[in-house]
Amino acid sequence: MTQTIFPKNSVACLRDEREEESTKPYLARGSRAPRCHYCRVIESHCLCRWRPKVEARSGVCLIMTKKEVFKPSNTGWLIADVIPDNYAFIWSRTEVDEKLIALLTDPQWQPYLVFPGEYVAAERVTNSVTINEDKKPLFLLIDATWTEARKIFRKSAYFDSIPILSLIPEKLSRYKLRRSTRSEHLCTVEVAALCFDLAGDTDASLALSCYFDVFSQHYLDAKNQSPLNLFSDAHQELKGYIE
């Protein structure tokens, strides 16, 4: 049987690097239950066998806080699981990762910073993605709480020359793993799925949405100590991307 080769998950690599550097482990809620080291879900509801494999022309770059990379409910991880060209960096106010700058200036990519257009000058804002043969779309996603994301946006001068992709979602967020005061705020994986759809990476967008639904089910069933239903609509839809 041929083994499926998946792309490297940059968020998982970042998490492992942070664990080696950290002197104090991050303790998530419900941490007493053993979790799968890779998918971060409680072992009885492990998600690993449901990881989809798709091709995508677009890439994604996640800008994360030091704590976000450890959270089991983080959805940026799911994007890096699915999209072959995935990158992740820890944000710092005082230091800029040279690898991030090199990525943003790489001629093969056309970066788009995904952020609400109301916070920047109108001439920087676009609601669409340019598709051409010379440059591939690279979506920059600030993977943090809304308060943290605004801070990162304001204090990162290297974002100033990058076009702002302002999304206009038609559906309210389906994210139920963390509380939010505004239902129109999408979680990171929902934002990414919209971006890939705009860029013409339809399979990647659909697979990511299905994977997110399955992840949410596994996570919440584990949290509620409910048996896992592998015959749910979400699992059936995802099967087409793993077989």
pLDDT digits (tens, 9 = 90+) for 62-89: 999 999 999 998 999 999 999 999 999 9
Residue 135 burial (10 A CB sphere; 0-12, 13-18, 19+): middle
pTM of the model: 0.89
| The pLDDT value given to residue 7 | 72
Q: Is 80 exceeded by the pLDDT of residue 25?
A: no
At residue 31, the pLDDT reads 54
Q: How far apart are CA 202 and CA 55, in angstroms?
A: 10
Instruction: Write out pLDDT tens, residues 26-40.
Output: 555 555 688 999 999
* CA atoms within a 13 Å half-sphere pointing along the CA-CB vector of 242: 17
Taking residue 153's Cβ as centre, other Cβ atoms within 10 Å add up to 18
Give me the mean pLDDT over the 92-109 stretch: 95
Res 183: pLDDT: 42
pLDDT in the model for residue 60: 98
| pLDDT confidence of residue 4 | 58
User: What is the arithmetic mean of pLDDT over 6-18?
Assistant: 89
Residue 186 is predicted with a pLDDT of 83
Q: Is the pLDDT of residue 105 over 60?
A: yes
Span 204-214, average pLDDT: 95
Q: Which residue would you say has higher pLDDT here, 118 or 201?
A: 201
pLDDT in tens, 116-171: 998 889 999 999 999 988 999 999 999 998 899 999 999 999 999 999 999 877 65
8-state DSSP, 7: P
Q: What pLDDT does 126 receive?
A: 95
The side-by-side arrangement of strands in the sheet containing 164-165 is 86-90, 59-64, 136-143, 109-114, 164-165, 125-126
**Residue 161, pLDDT score:** 92
pLDDT at 1 over 70: no
Residue 218: which pLDDT band, with cuts at 50, 70 and 90? Answer: very high
Q: How far is CA 48 from CA 75, 101, 123, 242, in A?
A: 14, 32, 43, 11
Domain regions of the chain by residue span: 10-239
